[in-house]
């Protein structure tokens, strides 16, 4: 049993909650699969089928639910992964776009389950400081031309 965070994202899947949780745990290094609950008899789901899966990614707790096809992920909610360097950006980009994931734009991608991620350099918000609006504009213009973020090009635009 994972010790619970006070606040945790609750992700609605059609039927792939366990598969998705195992995938995410395989991608992130400091991760762990937690308790799997099953639908009881007389509940909205098929008795005995996986209902929820608890998991932890890099210290953040999540719950995945097999809730049916009526709700889909949208860009309105995304998970941000702050990366220490370009190698780490490349790693997460490759893993999360694998087997059906899709690049979007400006560091955003959609994984094979439809969940949206932002793969960004750690401290990326420093580029957009209100203290230097010209620098922020240059970096924004460079980023708008990118799909996967390139730290070297962002740094060049910042200079």
pLDDT digits (tens, 9 = 90+) for 50-108: 999 999 999 999 999 999 999 999 999 999 999 999 999 999 999 999 999 999 999 99
* pLDDT tens digits, one per residue of 92-104: 999 999 999 999 9
Cα–chain-centroid distance for residue 75?
11
**Alpha-carbon distance 86 to 107, whole Å?**
12
Instruction: Match domain 1-71 to its CATH number in 1.20.1090.10, 3.30.930.10, 3.30.720.100, 3.90.870.10.
Output: 3.30.720.100
Give how far Cα 40 sits from Cα of 65, 69, 70, 82, 107, Å: 14, 20, 21, 39, 41
Burial class (CB in 10 A: 0-12, 13-18, 19+), 135: middle
């Amino acid at each position: 049993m994972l010790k619970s965070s006070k606040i945790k994202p609750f992700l609605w899947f059609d039927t792939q909650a366990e598969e998705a949780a195992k995938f995410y745990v395989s991608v992130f290094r400091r991760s762990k699969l937690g308790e799997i609950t099953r639908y009881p008899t007389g509940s909205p789901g098929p008795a005995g089928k996986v209902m929820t899966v608890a998991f932890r990614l890099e210290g953040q707790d999540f719950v995945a639910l097999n809730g049916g096809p009526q709700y889909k992920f949208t860009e309105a909610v995304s998970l941000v992964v702050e990366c220490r360097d370009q190698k780490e950006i490349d790693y997460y980009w490759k893993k999360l776009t694998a087997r059906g994931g899709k690049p979007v734009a400006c560091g955003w991608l959609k994984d094979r389950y439809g969940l949206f991620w932002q793969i960004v350099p750690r401290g990326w918000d420093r580029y957009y400081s209100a203290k230097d609006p010209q620098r922020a504009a240059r970096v924004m213009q460079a980023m708008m031309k990118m799909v996967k973020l390139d730290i070297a090009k962002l740094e060049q635009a910042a200079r």
